[in-house]
Amino acid sequence: MNVHDSEKVIGTLLHEGYRQVETVEEADLILYNTCSIRDKAEQKVFHRLADYKKLQARGKKFGVLGCVAQQEGEKIFERAPHVSLVCGSASYRKLPEMLVQLEAGQLAAQVEAATFRAARVEAGNCEAEERETEKLVRITGLDDRQTDECFETEFTARTNPYRGYITIIEGCDKFCSYCVVPFTRGKERSRTAESVLAEARQMADLGYSEIQLLGQNVNSYKDPTSDLRKKKTFAELLAAVGEVPGIRRVRFTTSHPRDFGRDIVHAIDAVPTLCDHVHLPVQSGSTRVLDAMQRLYNREQYLERIAWIKAAKRDISITSDMIVGFPGETEADFDETLSLLDEVGYDSVFTFKYSPRPNTPSLSLEDAIPDEEKARRLEVVMARQREIQIERYKKHIGMTIEVMVEGYNASRGQWVGRTSQNKTLNFTAGVRDDATRGSEARSTSEAESTSKAAGKSARSTQATSRATDRSARSTQATSAAADCGPRVGTYASVRVTGSFPNSLVGELVV
């Protein structure tokens, strides 16, 4: 979500006349988009801000955006006094206005400092010296939880020219006992289906063929329109986006198990463009722990939803998130998490050690499981899941699967594709001409650095701006090299010949 927030912020600021630059050194204003979901992520923010301090002497201004901004508010000015602007995730729509205030305030401060400097020289008044220094202007945008407004912009600067995100719902009202999101991103608010569909059509017109619908809980979507003829449920919206001409793949993340209805599975079965993938975070296999986490479902209800997905006509891949070491998680609870892994057979699981977060109800519970024990449980879950994935990925051997081509890896001599189930499928595409190899090697190293930069963009709009430029360059370079192979952004059929725990390998079918 942060990546897409950065894309929206960048697009909006470009429209306002700001220019993106390649490096922090070139920038006058450095906006840093932040995440506070776990303590580690938050600590990184303050380390990075400390690194930026040395640039202050060169007249640069700093702004902190996102969840750390919302959570820490004006305390950021105390911990990082060189920061001039703090804008929480729920206040992005006000950012251009805040930047105007920042510039105006800065100008006024410069004039004031110059006036005092002149007065001091004229009167030989040394007492004015302290006031000579330009005052640091401070601007804050910290909407409270109650904001009803979404950050809608038609100027999103998407980093990938073939697949892009659309936010359909912002904020969260679930209040899981461990989670900061309801405090940092405000209350749950949905966009109208009409506005989402207009954005999807606009993307299709621009040549996008894959859309990913985004939200903390996409399936808690509630169309706010009062026009009953246009009002849609989440499953109806999903199907409608899948029916937009030109759109070939639709993904959605994240789904909350409590709000996961059978109608979503029916939509996937009915609309071929909807991808064969559901990300359904469980967090724990123990009903006792789920209850303490305030997850609003128990193990049986979760497994019922899994049964609906498995009963689909299509082979839908299931992935999840899990937290280990939640306060009070016993060995028996942990065993239930392991048995759930076996029972569901996920294709991938993101696992996290429980991290106590400010404001959350679980902060009052004793975090008595030592970090080494959390780390051990994490290792055990990951090892078990790896075994499961080895078996699950093997099942694709011999199948012919459609992939979206994402790039070319010169060092391995393989194209990189993504399946509808969201699996990476690396493949060879026949004999290649030596003359094109040089340009491919170049394009590939750029494509790799693009994905790295795109990863960083979750944390920094500065990094995102770099990613945008590199993405454009790598696309050109990759397409120049693609004469004897499939083009990036197109779809290809690949026969799977081998498997690993996290990827498949195969050959292009021509």
Q: Please report, as ranges, the residues that interact with ligand SAM according to CB under 6 A.
A: 37-38, 178-179, 181, 216-217, 254, 256, 281, 283, 321, 323, 352, 354-355, 357
Q: Smallest distance from the beta carbon of 295 to ligand SF4, in angstroms? A: 7
Q: Where are the alpha helices (DSSP H) in 210-286?
A: 234-242, 262-270
**Nearest to ligand SAM of 290, 482 (CB atom):** 290
**Nearest to ligand SAM of 279, 418 (CB atom):** 279
215 binds ligand SF4 per the rule CB under 6 A = no
* Cα(388)–Cα(342) distance, integer angstroms: 7
Q: Smallest distance from the beta carbon of 170 to ligand SF4, in angstroms? A: 11
Binding mask 70-109 for ligand SF4 (x = CB under 6 A): ----------------------------------------
Is the bond into 159 cis (omega within 30 degrees of 0)? no
**Nearest to ligand SAM of 38, 314 (CB atom):** 38
**Nearest to ligand SAM of 355, 468 (CB atom):** 355
State both tokens at 384.
């078990």
Long-range contacts from 13-20, C-beta under 8 angstroms, 24+ separation: 13/95, 13/96, 13/99, 14/155, 14/157, 15/153, 15/155, 16/96, 16/99, 18/99, 20/465, 20/468, 20/469
Q: Which of residues 256-275 bind ligand SF4 (CB under 6 A)?
A: 256
Q: Smallest distance from the beta carbon of 375 to ligand SAM, in angstroms? A: 13
Q: Smallest distance from the beta carbon of 365 to ligand SAM, in angstroms? A: 12
461 binds ligand SF4 per the rule CB under 6 A = no
* Cα(98)–Cα(29) distance, integer angstroms: 13
Q: What is the DSSP letter of 305?
A: H
Q: What are phi and psi of 485, to 5 degrees?
A: -150, 180
* Cα(170)–Cα(151) distance, integer angstroms: 8
179 binds ligand SF4 per the rule CB under 6 A = yes
State both tokens at 424.
């990476």
State both tokens at 436.
């094109």
**Nearest to ligand SF4 of 321, 373 (CB atom):** 321
* Cα(453)–Cα(446) distance, integer angstroms: 10
**Beta-strand pair 83-87/61-66:** parallel
* Cα(351)–Cα(324) distance, integer angstroms: 7
Q: Smallest distance from the beta carbon of 232 to ligand SAM, in angstroms? A: 21
Q: Smallest distance from the beta carbon of 181 to ligand SF4, in angstroms? A: 4
**Nearest to ligand SAM of 170, 199 (CB atom):** 170
For 481, other C-beta atoms within 10 Å of its C-beta total 24
253 binds ligand SF4 per the rule CB under 6 A = no
Give yes or no for a contact between 146 and 324, defined as CB atoms under 8 angstroms apart: no
**Nearest to ligand SF4 of 181, 496 (CB atom):** 181
> Which letter, b or e, does each residue of 426-442 get, where b requires 16 or more Cβ atoms within 10 Å of its Cβ?
bbbbeebeeebeebbbb
Q: Smallest distance from the beta carbon of 254 to ligand SF4, in angstroms? A: 7
Binding mask 134-173 for ligand SF4 (x = CB under 6 A): --------------------------------------x-
217 binds ligand SF4 per the rule CB under 6 A = yes
Binding partner at 175 among ligand SF4, ligand SAM, none, C-beta below 5 to 8 Å by kind: ligand SF4
Q: Smallest distance from the beta carbon of 182 to ligand SAM, in angstroms? A: 10
For 127, other C-beta atoms within 10 Å of its C-beta total 8
Binding partner at 321 among ligand SF4, ligand SAM, none, C-beta below 5 to 8 Å by kind: ligand SAM
Give the residue among 142, 139, 35, 32 at the shortest CA–CA distance from 77. 139
Q: Which range touches ligand SF4 (CB under 6 A), out of 5-13, 59-67, 174-182, 384-392?
A: 174-182
Q: Which range touches ligand SF4 (CB under 6 A), out of 27-35, 61-69, 178-186, 428-436?
A: 178-186
Q: Smallest distance from the beta carbon of 179 to ligand SF4, in angstroms? A: 3
Q: Smallest distance from the beta carbon of 73 to ligand SF4, in angstroms? A: 20
Which listed residue (65, 67, 68, 176) binds ligand SF4 by CB under 6 A?
176
Q: Specify burial of residue 423 (Cβ count, 10 A radius: 0-12, 13-18, 19+).
A: buried
177 binds ligand SF4 per the rule CB under 6 A = no
Q: Where are the beta strands (DSSP E) in 46-194?
A: 61-66, 83-87, 139-141, 163-167, 169-170, 189-190
> To which H or E segment does residue 496 belong?
strand 491-499
> Which letter, b or e, does each residue of 217-246 get, where b requires 16 or more Cβ atoms within 10 Å of its Cβ?
bbbbbebeeeeeeebbbbbebbbbbbebee
216 binds ligand SF4 per the rule CB under 6 A = yes
Q: Smallest distance from the beta carbon of 220 to ligand SAM, in angstroms? A: 9
Q: Computed over its alpha carbons, how large is the radius of gyration of the chain?
A: 25
Considering CB under 6 A, how many residues would be counted as binding ligand SF4? 10
**Nearest to ligand SF4 of 190, 443 (CB atom):** 190
Which listed residue (174, 266, 394, 432) binds ligand SF4 by CB under 6 A?
174
182 binds ligand SF4 per the rule CB under 6 A = yes
How are strands ordered across the β-sheet holding 61-66? 29-34, 61-66, 83-87, 139-141
Q: Smallest distance from the beta carbon of 356 to ligand SF4, in angstroms? A: 14
Q: Footprint of ligand SF4 on this chain (CB under 6 A)?
A: 172, 174-176, 179, 181-182, 216-217, 256
